[in-house]
Structure 1
Amino acid sequence: MKKVFALLCFTTLLFAFRADKPKKIIFFGDSITQAGVSPTGYITKLGTLLDKNKYELVGKGIGGNKVYDLYLRLEDDVLAQKPDVVVIWVGVNDVWHKASSGTGTDPDKFVKFYQALIDKMKAQNIKVVLTTPSTIGERYDNTNQQDGDLNKYSMFIRELAAKNNLPLIDLRKAFMDYSQKNNPKNEEKGILTTDRVHLNDTGNQFVAEQMAKVLQQF
């Protein structure tokens, strides 16, 4: 009887420990996410919006990364860290580098490697959240150079979210809507970004708020 009681007590404590353990969320992406852990970055700001006792936020961003780069470092930077949730935010360089250096990612390969990321994480029972690329130029009337491709790749990610029944943070739509309301001069930067791509303080806060809406559900 004493052994049974002791086992029940141990089991109760074990479940209590697991319940109190914060959920580890990894943000997996490029230079925007690399800067997200800075004192004013979106991951840092997100930490003030979410319950610190419930979540552990980890940034795994590397400048210049495209979807293929994420696939190559998935094992070490994500799977080995045993996260509960992973937020994938990639796509800007896959589009941007087509024009800047001719090293972007073709649509079929983008979808293929993105799906492979999802498959590998789901196989480890990791919850996956998809994020559309935000902006390469803040003009709201589709006159930025890469708007066409950026809209197309965002649609790929929306389709992947629907196909895999995954939560989506649609930053592309959110940024466009914000610019229409808050960019009366149709400027290409300085609204949510410093250089058309990377976030300023307002942009970091805006992204944190968009992500909090989804992540607080976990």
Structure 2
Amino acid sequence: MTVLLFREDAYRREAPGVVAGHTAEGGVILDQSLFYPTGGGQPGDSGTLEWEGGRIAIASAVKGEAGAVVLVPSEPAALPPQGAHVLQRLDWNRRYAHMRVHTALHLLSVVIPLPVTGGQVGEGRGRLDFDMPHPPGDVAALEERVNALVGRDLVVSAEWITDAELAANPGLVKTMSVAPPIGQGRVRLVRIGRAAEEVDLQPCGGTHVARTGEIGRVTIGRIENKGRQNRRVSLILAT
């Protein structure tokens, strides 16, 4: 199982690693990964791997077998050999954009307290799909409520609970389309706000900013009808 360095520090931009193996498709597996693998609506990280005598660009990261993170090269190239010591470098601007959008989408789920049926994190924008029979009446008011939460500069933190604790508190789960990863004994929760200032607490394995103030100004974009009771709400961040 790959050690997930991004869980320990989402702001870390580079880290060492040792090549644990390769996949038949030409992916690289390290003993520890700075790269977030695609999942939960958030794209995999991109960046570079460097080692003595070589360097490759990494287009993305995906989940492999038995808890491995597989780094996918941008194009076919000579890979670092098994056992090689490498330096991982993130495309930091892209990662940070994902962090800002992901946290903003959690705030969107606060101001629209309806079950979430899907979502996608992008660079500078994202969207959530809601089980929403009717479109929201006042989009400007929703936008201002999200920006008010951003402006409070709330602390964003993570903690762990057991599978049994999650099962005893099903209200923590907002997503209908993606179940939290259970079966490993514990589940990661992301909390926005502390004590009396808490506004959100839900299972999430993605990367987030440390404070909501880092998100910046949010604009609510298009609201699309995606089915009889499904509405897609887009969110755009200021550059």
Query: What TM-score do the two structures reach when normalised by structure 1?
Result: 0.26
Query: What TM-score do the two structures reach when normalised by structure 2?
Result: 0.25
Structure with greater helix share of residues: 1
